[in-house]
Amino acid sequence: MDYGLNSIIKTTKKHPCGNDEWEIIRMGADIKIKCTKCNRIIMLSRRNFNKRLKQVVK
């Protein structure tokens, strides 16, 4: 799948707030994503991120 900075993605696992859409805000060896509903930020390793990635929305 093709994703980049500021892309909106869907994950296989939902956030505790009930949302599964995230915005990519930093890319490198780790990827930092922000929940589009509650604005919480998490950082995942690229390997873990690719396992959780379900779909690129835009």
Mean pLDDT of 4-18: 95
The 10s digit of each residue's pLDDT in 17-27 is 999 999 999 99
What average pLDDT does the structure give for the chain? Answer: 96
CA distance 40 to 23: 11
pLDDT band for position 49 (50/70/90)? very high
Evaluate the CA torsion angle 50, 52, 55, 58 in order and state its sign: negative
Task: Tell me the backbone φ, ψ of residue 26, rounded to 5 degrees.
Answer: -155, 140
pTM, two decimals, is: 0.90
Tokens of 42: 């998490």
Is residue 4 within 8 A of residue 27, CB to CB? The reply is yes
Question: What pLDDT score does 1 carry?
Answer: 75
